[in-house]
């Protein structure tokens, strides 16, 4: 009996593979537990179509992430912050502030959880901040912190 694995099964194969298995194992375990479907032409065609849609969606997400990365790398963003008597900032620049500045200055909606600060920004100056955009793509945000 031929089955299309829809989940990885240890000792049998990975998702998307068509395997020839014994009837009892295929019907009772693989299909019965939801690990596989009977490998008919309709099921295989639908699986191929779904995989193509997933790939197209992933390619579109990667293209958008690369466009955002180029946009971030080519710009410098300015943040005005209150400064104390010793030249240090009152408080520090946070991920949320950076996210709000990106939205205000470049219309880029990036969640604060995607922004990674290597260390707290507590002084005036130019800093580089890492931004995770998904699919292993990272952008660099250049921030110019100035006194208010």
Domain count within the chain:
2
pTM across the whole model: 0.77
- The answer to whether residues 68 and 139 belong to one domain is yes
Contact 12, 5 (CB under 8 A): yes
Closest CA to 48 of 90, 4, 114, 2: 4
Write out 48-66 in H/E/C secondary structure: HHHHHHHHHHHHHHHHHHH
Closest residue by Cα to residue 112 from 90, 129, 136: 129
Average pLDDT, the chain: 94
Q: Are residues 55 and 72 in the same domain?
A: no
Per-residue pLDDT tens for 55-112? 999 999 999 999 999 999 999 999 999 998 887 899 999 999 999 999 999 999 999 9
Same domain, 79 and 114: yes
Q: Residue 96: name the closest of 112, 107, 82 by CA.
A: 112
Confidence label for 7 from pLDDT (cuts 50, 70 and 90): very high
Q: Which domain holds residue 23?
A: 2-60
* pLDDT average, residue stretch 139-147: 93
CATH number of the CATH domain containing 6: 3.40.5.10
CATH of the domain at 117: 3.10.430.100
Question: Is the domain of 76 the same as that of 134?
Answer: yes
Residues 76 and 135 in one domain: yes
Confidence check: pLDDT of 1 > 90: yes
Cβ-based burial of 131 (10 A; exposed 0-12, middle 13-18, buried ≥19) = buried
Same domain? For 69 and 118 the reply is: yes
């Amino acid at each position: 009996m031929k089955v299309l694995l829809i989940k990885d099964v240890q000792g049998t194969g990975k998702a998307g593979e068509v395997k020839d298995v014994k009837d009892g194992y295929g019907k009772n375990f693989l299909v019965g537990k939801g690990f596989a479907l009977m490998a008919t032409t309709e099921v295989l065609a639908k699986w191929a179509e779904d995989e193509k849609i997933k790939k197209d969606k992933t390619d579109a997400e990667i293209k958008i992430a690369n466009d955002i990365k180029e946009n971030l790398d080519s710009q410098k963003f300015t943040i005005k912050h209150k400064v104390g008597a010793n030249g240090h900032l009152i408080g520090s620049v946070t991920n949320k502030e950076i996210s709000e500045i990106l939205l205000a200055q470049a219309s880029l909606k990036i969640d604060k959880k995607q922004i990674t600060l290597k260390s707290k920004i507590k002084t005036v100056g130019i800093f580089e901040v890492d931004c995770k955009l998904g699919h292993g793509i990272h952008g660099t945000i250049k921030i110019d912190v100035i006194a208010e």
